[in-house]
Structure 1
Amino acid sequence: MVDTVEQVERRPWVLRRWPAVAGVAMAAFAAWGMESGADVAPIVTASAFLYLGAAALQRRTAAWPMFAVSFVAVGLGSNVEGFNATWVMLAFAAVLAVYGVIRGALRPPWGLPLQAAALIVLAAAALIAVDANQTVAGVLVAAGLLIHAGWDTYHHRTHRVVAQSMSEFCAVLDTLLALAVLVVTFG
């Protein structure tokens, strides 16, 4: 049963905007104890990884399981010496992309092809940030996150690639985390 607009509007704000609330909480969690933008660089990769996964699987709701995969990868990367979350997500993304191509996900062009290009660009920024000085790392990570926040907003408005709940969550997370990175970098 689908709720009417009136039923949805009567819900408390927190229940209507749960993705935004979750984005605020995740940004606070990710920023806690951050010493440099490089500390959260894999999140830049994760932001694009979610979109590629959903595009490759041709299911907008697949972005949430992709988030779970990226959350585990980023967590391991933060806590296990020698574990590079960005490379792990890129390897998994390559498998997903091949699977998507086999299943015919090359159409529409704003799907898998565009999401793969975005992942390559954002992952490159994340990989460069990890080895850069603190200022360059902060600028690269913040820029990547802010660019992806715009990406999220566009996809939220067009209802493309990922579920709207994911694009809303991700836009809030990316924006707040980018601001936190800039504060740590220049504050």
Structure 2
Amino acid sequence: MTETVVNEVPRSARAWGATIGRRWPSVLGLAAAAAGGYELVGGTAAEGIEQAVFIAVPVLVYLTAAVIDRPRSAWPVAILATILVFGMRASDVEPVLALAAASAVVLVLGLVRRLWRGGDEPATGQIIGALGFGAAAVLALYTIPTLGALVVGFGLLGHAAWDVLHYRRDRVVVRSLAEWCAVLDLLLGSAVIVLTVTTII
């Protein structure tokens, strides 16, 4: 009996480790959401608006991957964009506006390439998605705090659905990036909405 229990512990630990190994993007998304959510604790709607950067980064990531038609580029672009966000914040540069400008450049290059080569990348859906989510991130900066935070919260939830769609279709970005982003967007978006509602009540 004792030997059975001893053998079961390592087996369950291995199973748990294997599960985490398979779902590492979700674990990473959970950790990122926890870090972002920590900034919201005891905060106001203004802190919610600051989370707009979590919309602006994936807009650039998805759009870049779509334009160059390289799903595996998603992670390098996401990591580079995140590093740049920290640098911009340290230099008092608004990262959402900078990322929106970068996305606009990528979009223009993509459209020129599409017209010049007669291809279909970036797809119309990616263009609409980039414009919609990008506009939401920028709009949040220029409205009253409560409305801006709600725009961010629902924008993140909308992007979570966007991530799930791309995960299921296994297109544009690698599935691990879509999974990570979906978990992050869902949890952080919900946290921003809860924070905003509690400041209203």
User: Counterpart in 2 of 1:29?
Assistant: 35
Match of 2:70 among 59, 84, 104: 59
Return closer, same or farther for 1:158/1:106 CA change in 2, 3 Å cut-off: farther
Higher mean C-alpha deviation, range 85-94 or range 173-182? 85-94
Superposition CA RMSD, Å? 2.3
User: Counterpart in 1 of 2:101?
Assistant: 91
For residues 40-119 of structure 1, the aligned pairs below 5 Å read 40-81=51-92, 83-101=93-111, 103-104=113-114, 107-108=119-120, 111-119=122-130
User: Counterpart in 1 of 2:50?
Assistant: 39
Report runs of 4+ in structure 1 exceeding 6 Å deviation: none
Structure 1 residue 99, shift from structure 2 partner: 3.9
Return closer, same or farther for 1:10/1:22 CA change in 2, 3 Å cut-off: closer
State whether residues 97 and 112 of structure 1, in contact with CA within 8 Å, keep that contact through their aligned partners in structure 2. Answer: no
**Alignment partner of 1:12: what SS?**
helix
Alpha-carbon distance in structure 2 between the residues aligned to 1:178 and 1:10: 28
Higher mean C-alpha deviation, range 174-183 or range 88-97? 88-97
Alpha-carbon distance in structure 2 between the residues aligned to 1:90 and 1:134: 20
Structure 1 residue 95, shift from structure 2 partner: 3.2
Higher mean C-alpha deviation, range 165-174 or range 176-185? 176-185
Match of 1:160 among 154, 160, 171: 171
Task: Give the percent of matched residue pairs that are identical in Structure 1 and Structure 2.
Answer: 33
Deviation sequence 1:117-166 (CA, Å, 0-9, x none): 21221121111212222321121001110111000000000111000000
User: Counterpart in 1 of 2:21?
Assistant: 15
User: How many residues align structurally?
Assistant: 177
**Alignment partner of 2:51: what SS?**
helix
TM-score (norm 1): 0.84
Return closer, same or farther for 1:99/1:128 CA change in 2, 3 Å cut-off: closer
Task: Letter of the 1:86 partner, please give it.
Answer: V
**Gap runs ≥5 in structure 2:** 1-14
